[in-house]
Amino acid sequence: MEPETLHIAKDLICAVLARAPRMHIILYHSKSYDSVYIKFDVGVANSCRVADHDSKKSHLSYRFNILLNTSRITRDDSGRYPKFFYPVSEIDSLADVIVANARQKLDTWGEERYKDFMEDNMNKLPDADWQKVTLKSNEGDALVMEKWNYQL
């Protein structure tokens, strides 16, 4: 049976792809913590952590978070960049924010520079055996790179 965090992460991915079918997505599932990490446009459009617990690694910081144990959207401004925490019930509003964030960066930097940032991030990925998974969205099929048992 699929872990709840992974199921929620796939729901978020499908919601994002319904709004931005060309988004490049990388998904890591850490079975040791039962957390899922999603990079949107290879991290250029920020990342999201899906978990049923607070982060066990204080040095890791994700702009967007879905926590199974929260019931409202909250914001944390204690770090260099703000972090947002969403309940599972707000997946659609989070998908809207992620897509708007990506479009804002694309408008600011331009398509060529945005793609250069994506390529740089792809080159920084750890060597691993990536699975290529096809998820269905309203706009058609989208390729999602997925890595299981990734140890952070």
What is the pTM (predicted TM-score) of this model? Answer: 0.82
pLDDT at 58: 52
Residues 24 and 45: beta-carbon distance below 8 Å: no
- Locate the domains of the chain by residue range: 4-148
pLDDT over 60 at 136, yes or no: no
* DSSP string of 70-105, one letter each residue: --S-EEE-SSSS-EEEE-GGGHHHHHHHHHHHHHHH
Instruction: Give me the pLDDT at residue 66, please.
Output: 96
Listed residue (56, 49, 54) closest to 69, CA to CA: 54
Higher pLDDT residue, 21 or 145?
A: 21
| Residue with token string 């913590």 | 33
Containing 143, the helix (H) or strand (E) segment is strand 140-148
Distance of alpha carbon 8 from its chain centroid, rounded? Answer: 11
Q: Which one-letter amino acid corresponds to residue 145?
A: M
